[in-house]
Every structure is written in C-alpha cells, then in structure tokens.
Amino acid sequence: MLKINNLHARVEEKEILKGINLTVNAGEVHAIMGPNGSGKSTLSSVLAGNEKFIVTEGSVEFEGQNLLEQSIEKRAAMGLFLGFQYPVEIPGVSMANFLRMAVNSQRKTQGLEPIKAGEFLKMMREKAEIVELGDKLMGRAVNEGFSGGEKKRNEIFQMAMLQPKLAVLDETDSGLDVDALRIVATGVQKLRRPDNATIVITHYQRLLDYIIPDFVHVLYDGKIIHSGTKELALEIEEKGYDWIINK
C-alpha cells in the first residue's frame, strides 16, 4: 500500500528527514515512536503534502502511484488521512457542512455521485457513536470551542466518515486523559479492516495497549534506526531510547 524509499525532507534550510525507509501493507498497524524532534510529525506532514516541507530526495509510492506528485486534496481522495496533532479551528464552517463537502469532494474525484442527504445524516449519526461524540457538536463550527479530547475524538470521527485506506495518526494520544484515550483508541480499533492500514505516531506506549501494532519503529534524527514487534514498545517504555540510540 505504502512504500517509502530513502525519503529526505527539509523545512526552510534544516534537513529533518534523512533517509526514511518504510513499507506498510494492507491490514497492518505500524507504530512510530521516538524522542522529540526526531522527525515524526515531519514524516506525517510530508506524506499529507504540507507545503512547508520540501522533499529533497527519495520516493513515496501509495497504491501504486507516485504520492509526492499529487496535490494535498488528491492524496486525501486517494485514501490518505492525517489525524492532526493540533486540529485546526475553523470559525463559521459547521461540522456538517464541512464533512458533506469533504465526502462529496472525495467522491467526485473517485467518479462517484454526491451522497444523498438522508444517507449522509444516517452515516454521521452512526460514525459519531464510534467515538461517543454527541449530536450537539455537529451543529457547531469545526473544532471551535471543542475541548482537547473532543478535538481528538473529532479527528477519529472524520476518519470514520472518510474511510481512508491509510490513516496516519499524529500523536492522537497527546493531551488526552485516560477516558478520552480509551474512546479514541477503541474508535481506531473498530475502524481496522483487512483492506486498510494505520500508522500511529506516538510518544507513549499506553496508546498501544489499545491499538495493538504489528510493527514498532523507532525514529531518531530523521531515520528509522530500529524496528520490532509490539514488545519493542514495552521495552522502550521501560528503558527509554538511549539503549537503541547508542547501539
């Protein structure tokens, strides 16, 4: 599904990604861990097409296509979803209006008719339940006045609405209390299917108690320096990163 090969990227003059290699297949969950400043968020931004970052070397293939050539919105329509670490507040744009536009824009790119109003409302209700997000948030502006936990649950709700092939969740667990963490993680778990994949970027092992990864990678100084299975996350929790970095 996703093949990242020797990916280098910089922001302004600073090189942040220094040769990432990663392959993700359908049905897999990958966790990317690593200390602050190692390039985790940069990786997710580069995949999404954030124009602040400039790819200087390497390639990314997604669903058999050159991902880096595509616009941000095209990548989304191809099935790439980014769960934002800091979801953006958009005053004046209602959740319902925003999601209808998003769903229909993606459908249009995929050559499908716009979704019927009744079907859309039913879908909104069903998907909101996955992350226990109440009806009242749907009438509000996107993320405006949402609590930290509501914003993160809203990201997973949008993921459920858009049904991406690959979801990249950038520190979705940061700033969450235990209950919100459980709701978010259970939501992600419910959305797992054999034909989709998830990359979970996280600082902490605790999220991985709920979302069991198939692979755990350690990102340090712009490179993946170590990969393993879910036991690696536990080991990092116990011993930190130094033993890997110093190897």
Partner 1 sequence: MKTYDITTQQHISDHIQVAGDIDIVYNIRAGAQLDLQQITTTKENAKENAKDSTKINITYNLEQGATLNVNTLDIDNKLLHRTQTFNLIGTGASANATGLYITADGEKSTNNIKMNHLNPNCTSSQTYKGLVGGVSEFLGHIFIEKDAQHTQALQQNHNILLNPSARVISNPWLEIYADDVKCNHGATVGKNDPDAIYYLRQRGIPELDAKKLMLEAFIDECVMNHPSKDELLELISAKLKTL
What is the closest distance, in whole angstroms, from the C-beta atom of residue 154 to partner 1 in the complex?
A: 11
For the bound state, the minimum distance from the C-beta of residue 246 to partner 1, rounded and expressed in Å, comes to 37
Cα 39-234-239 angle, rounded to 5 deg: 75
Residue among 33 and 159 whose Cβ is closer to partner 1: 159
**Minimum CB–partner distance for residue 82 and partner 1 (Å):** 5
56, 65, 66, 109: which one binds partner 1 (CB under 8 A):
109
Which of positions 38-97 make contact with partner 1 (CB under 8 A)? Answer: 48-51, 71-73, 75-77, 81-82, 84, 87-93
Give the nearest distance from C-beta 199 to partner 1 in angstroms. 15
Nearer to partner 1, 144 or 209 (CB): 144
What tokens does 191 get? Answer: 């959305």
Q: Which residues, in sequence order, are CB contacts of 124 under 8 Å at separation 6+? A: 96, 99, 138, 161
Give the count of residues interacting with partner 1 (CB under 8 A): 31
Q: Tell me if 166 sits within 8 A of 195, measured CB to CB.
A: no
Cβ-based burial of 64 (10 A; exposed 0-12, middle 13-18, buried ≥19): exposed
> Which one, 165 or 206, has the nearer CB to partner 1?
165
End-to-end C-alpha distance for the chain, whole angstroms = 31
CB of 92 to partner 1, least distance (A): 3
Strand blocks (E) in 34-183:
53-62, 65-66, 80-83, 90-94, 141-142, 166-170
Contact 199, 168 (CB under 8 A): yes
Q: Please report where in the chains the tokens 């054999």 appear, as a residue.
A: 194
Q: Nearest approach, Cβ of 228 to partner 1 (angstroms)? A: 30
Interaction with partner 1 in 145-174: which residues (CB under 8 A)?
Answer: 158, 162
Contact characters 174-213, partner 1, x per CB under 8 A: ----------------------------------------
Closest to 85 measured CA to CA, from 162, 184, 5, 8:
184
- Tokens representing 126 are 């069903």
Between CA 189 and CA 17 the distance in angstroms is 29
C-beta closer to partner 1: residue 90 or 234: 90
Name the residues that contact partner 1, by CB under 8 A: 48-51, 71-73, 75-77, 81-82, 84, 87-93, 98-99, 101-103, 105-106, 109, 141, 158, 162
